[in-house]
Structure 1
Amino acid sequence: MAPLAQQLFRRRMPYGVHDVGTPISIAQVPARGEQRRSLRRSLSTTQLTLVGVGGTIGTGIFFILSEAVPEAGPAVIVSFVLAAAVAGLTVLCYAELASTMPSSGSSYSYTYATMGEITAFVVGACLVLEYGVSAAAVAVGWSEYVNLLLENLLGWSLPAALSAAPEAGGVVNLPAVVLVGLCVFLLMRGARESALANSVMVIIKVGVLVLFAAIALTGFRSDHFESFAPAGLPGISIAAGSLFFSFIGLDAIATAGDEVKDPRRTIPRALVLALCIVTGVYLLVAVAALGAQRWTDFEGQSASLATIVQNLVGSSWPGTLLAVGAVISIFSVTLICLYGQTRILYTMGRDGLISRRFARVSARRSVPVFNTLTVGAGVAILAGLLPIGILADLTSVGTLTAFGLVAVGVMVLRRTAPDLDRGFRVPGYPVTPLLTVVACLYLISGLSASTLTAFALWIAVALVFYLTWSRRHSELATL
């Protein structure tokens, strides 16, 4: 058995990436028995871009404004820009590593190759938190729009006991659980079918948000921006930390490394295109919403976008239309979050750091069946029992930690493997990755102490599992 320090920091390139082109010691381990059946490469640049857009738009903009606007006031627009800037820095770092070693493991695999096994496991735990909790949070927001739609169309809504978490006065959020079940059903059909369904839902989603902006801008009032930053810079920072939740989903593009055509070129292009589309839509909607409604009215407002247009035109039809779009489009966010979660666990299972059952792929559908069902069950429990505020902040801290380590990975790989073939290079190196790390730490500092404590406990549990089980069952343990 190798010394403990050597076990903790052993490195490996992602499975299938063989052209290392450098003398550094990174293990190449072939897949075992049941893991030799790989995922199918079927996704194009357009489909992959829409995966990023579909997994991002809706995660926040449909309902997170009621959480962020009270924190920053109209200056929430600045918070969006700040969160987008951090996301942009991160996207550039992801693009370099994804073009160098494309893998369904995303930042987990990148960290494994640059900083060693224990760091990779921590990143894997962060990604599990990001995708799983994010999917649950979006499902909770989806149920708000389902209730609004039922009220407008049928004149009744689900009782509070079946549409809210226990902390919010209910028993279980049944619509959220149903949504997760529907997404799992679609994922079981295969990646190509899921991508097609996502593309349709993205078109509907963007169309609905553009319609909202068009209606809201008819009631635009400049005096709504007079008290622009009532809470000053601290409020802007706190809101930016929460709104970063709205940009989560872009990195799902990198989890398709084993299922995309020509990944070295396709993944960087899709990352940049998706970021530009998402940022443009967010800013349009935020400006329109704040122009149509005073910032003080956002607090505690459920299904805020639909409520704004209903109040503006004095009729329920715009709200009903927006609710229909939200119900359809938020579906795609949950779908992509669950997809990303399963692909991370697939890669960790293939590497032996969790049970290899997570890496078993159906011969008929090229889908990790056990993995998908397990993830669906876990996310359904979270969505049914926890409120959105707790879920959103936990998602942000896990994602920001993973993003910061990706930026560190870019710098480490530049030093240890300068001649490695890279399809894309981060512009402004080393300033860009350094700024990414600083920006991630800055946004993390704005999150609540309770959120950081919960995150620390999650990482502690992950480390205990790694030290007692994963390091002994790792593929690299046999070398």
Structure 2
Amino acid sequence: MLDQGAPPPPPSPTASSSPGVAARLMRRKPVERLVAEGGQGEGGALRRTLGLWQLTMISIGATLGTGIFVVLGEAVPKAGPAVTLSFVIAGFTALFSALSYAELAGSIPVAGSSYSYAYATMGELVAWICGWCLVLEYGVSVAAVAVGWGEYLNEMLDGTIGVTIPAALSAPPGDGGVFNLPALIVVLLAMAFLLGGARESARANTVMVVVKIAALVLFCAIGLTGFRSGNYENFMPLGMAGVSAAGATLFFSYIGFDAASTAGEEAKNAQRDLPRAIMLSLVIVTALYVLVAAVAIGAKPWQRFDGTEAALAQIMNEVTGQTFWGTLLAFCAVVAIASVVLTVLYGQTRVLFAMSRDGLVPKVFSRVHPKTGAPRANTLIVSLFCGVLAAAIPLGQLADATSIGTLFAFALVNVAVVVLRRTRPEMPRTFRVPLSPVLPALGFAFCVWMMGSLSTVTWVVFGVWMAIGLVFYFVYGYRRSRLAPSEVK
């Protein structure tokens, strides 16, 4: 018989005493645990081989080229000469988010990027949503960029040997083709580099980045000879609405500056070098974008931009009256856009690596090859998926779908940096966002504003994507999460 004055016995550890559904959805992964698990995968570990130079080149490689070489031709008809202002607006939007990324990358140097930051600050469900957005951002942008690569490949082939790939094999359904073979090929080439490991991929990317910067400098030098100030007389013919719409589309051009943050577990000195790489790459890319766009509009009236992905090569041909320079630029663009595919595909595999290690996606994505230190199975699966997507979906739809996923993830990063400041003010930070929480709040507001500028169709696609992700989470990730209580695994 129990003593009436004694306290009641503790409840037995049954399911009834386990955390409720809401508590499980909000469970956070401690920063210390995130960092301690860094690099560890199934059967092996990632290798720390990347310095500041390689990290900066990864971010530039993932960013520079997409908007200028591919999306510029689609954005000019929306904004006219004010497309230069659209680039600046998109760049400012990226800057505020880049500041937040820089602080979090230095504080939580892991492979999951904004997914891991959300896991540490806002809980598992928000982290899953962020990670699912990153799958859309990185995976689909690989496909979108690969589509543009095929356009420049045809320009190069036409200028050198007078042959082009038939439309049936160089454009996706809906754009006059049946299957975009070049897009599939460039994804498979990037896959081959990634299977060799991070160091080998970084070396190949550095060479390609140097080529693309040289190509853009060459374009500016030649384009200035055909510059006509009269092309800027009606600067904003479609109003601020057009500038905003073009800015939302061009934000696609800045996707990738955060790619260095996905290399957190392969950087030699991640806490020092990641913030520097992120900020340095964004400054270089923004300056080049605005300069090239300004020269392009000056050399060709905005009304004559017809949506082609190979706009810069055409301008070179028109200004010089020769096909050589356009062909040379097309060759450089083929190399440049290949580097975007390589580095963005790298980022996608590392995000899935982190999500797999947490149990939210299958273990195969965190399996590391002991010889190369690369997640080979992950790379194969992601590359094949992106390659098929590139071969079957038109570019315009892909670019906008990628933008909305990116903006959503960036918005969450701006929230995460404020939350971590309040919950862990004592944590060491190698970089701090100035004027916090004002600048993160501005970053969040800009992201929401630009999301509102996207089309209804894009929002519908995003909503369907989120619904699919939530179904997958509750069917698979919720019960298999490594933070889940044992009785629900």
Q: TM-score range by the shorter chain?
A: over 0.9
RMSD of aligned alpha carbons: 1.4
Q: What is residue 13 of structure 1 aligned with on the other side? A: 30
Q: What is residue 133 of structure 1 aligned with on the other side? A: 140
Q: What is the rounded CA distance, in whole Å, between the counterparts of 1:57 and 1:228 in structure 2?
A: 25
Counterpart contact for 1:29–1:476, Cα < 8 Å: no
Q: What is residue 165 of structure 1 aligned with on the other side? A: 172
- Residue 226 of structure 1: CA displacement? 0.7
Counterpart contact for 1:13–1:109, Cα < 8 Å: no
Name the SS for the 2:411 alignment partner: helix
Within the alignment, does 1:358 sit opposite 2:375 as a pair? no
Counterpart contact for 2:69–2:309, Cα < 8 Å: no
Within the alignment, does 1:193 sit opposite 2:193 as a pair? no
Counterpart contact for 1:352–1:473, Cα < 8 Å: yes
Identity between Structure 1 and Structure 2 (%):
51
Name the SS for the 2:67 alignment partner: coil
- Residue 245 of structure 1: CA displacement? 0.2
Q: What is the rounded CA distance, in whole Å, between the counterparts of 2:39 and 2:225 in structure 1?
A: 59
Q: What is residue 263 of structure 1 aligned with on the other side? A: 270
Matches within 5 A, 1:59-458: 59-458=66-465
Name which one, 1 or 2, has greater alpha-carbon Rg: 2
Counterpart contact for 2:98–2:258, Cα < 8 Å: yes
Counterpart contact for 1:29–1:475, Cα < 8 Å: no
Structure 1 gap segments, 5+ residues each: 19-27
Counterpart amino acid of 1:189? G
Counterpart amino acid of 1:282? Y
Counterpart amino acid of 1:13? P
Moved more, 434-443 or 301-310: 301-310
Q: What is the rounded CA distance, in whole Å, between the counterparts of 1:55 and 1:105 in structure 2?
A: 16
- Residue 36 of structure 1: CA displacement? 6.0
Q: What is the rounded CA distance, in whole Å, between the counterparts of 2:300 and 2:38 in structure 1?
A: 58
- Residue 15 of structure 1: CA displacement? 7.2
Query: Residues 356, 311 of structure 1: CA spacing in aligned structure 2 closer, same or farther, 3 A cutoff?
Result: same
Counterpart contact for 2:43–2:370, Cα < 8 Å: no
Q: What is the rounded CA distance, in whole Å, between the counterparts of 2:452 and 2:211 in structure 1?
A: 36
Q: What is the rounded CA distance, in whole Å, between the counterparts of 1:398 and 1:30 in structure 2?
A: 25
Name the SS for the 2:226 alignment partner: coil
Q: What is the rounded CA distance, in whole Å, between the counterparts of 1:14 and 1:332 in structure 2?
A: 32
Name the SS for the 1:429 alignment partner: coil
Counterpart amino acid of 1:440? C
Counterpart amino acid of 1:388? L
- Residue 267 of structure 1: CA displacement? 0.3
Count of equivalent residues: 469
Query: Residues 127, 30 of structure 1: CA spacing in aligned structure 2 closer, same or farther, 3 A cutoff?
Result: closer
Q: What is the rounded CA distance, in whole Å, between the counterparts of 2:332 and 2:30 in structure 1?
A: 42
Structure 2 gap segments, 5+ residues each: 1-17
Counterpart amino acid of 1:129? L
Q: What is residue 23 of structure 1 aligned with on the other side? A: none
- Residue 169 of structure 1: CA displacement? 1.4
The structure 1 segments of at least 4 consecutive aligned residues displaced by more than 3 Å after TM superposition are 13-18, 28-32
Moved more, 194-203 or 57-66: 57-66
- Residue 14 of structure 1: CA displacement? 5.4
Q: What is the rounded CA distance, in whole Å, between the counterparts of 2:39 and 2:272 in structure 1?
A: 25
Name the SS for the 2:68 alignment partner: coil
- Residue 434 of structure 1: CA displacement? 0.3
- Residue 302 of structure 1: CA displacement? 3.8
- Residue 444 of structure 1: CA displacement? 0.3
Query: Residues 366, 227 of structure 1: CA spacing in aligned structure 2 closer, same or farther, 3 A cutoff?
Result: same
Q: What is residue 9 of structure 2 aligned with on the other side? A: none
- Residue 300 of structure 1: CA displacement? 2.9
- Residue 176 of structure 1: CA displacement? 0.4
Q: What is residue 21 of structure 1 aligned with on the other side? A: none
Q: What is the rounded CA distance, in whole Å, between the counterparts of 2:122 and 2:470 in structure 1?
A: 16
Q: What is the rounded CA distance, in whole Å, between the counterparts of 1:365 and 1:209 in structure 2?
A: 34
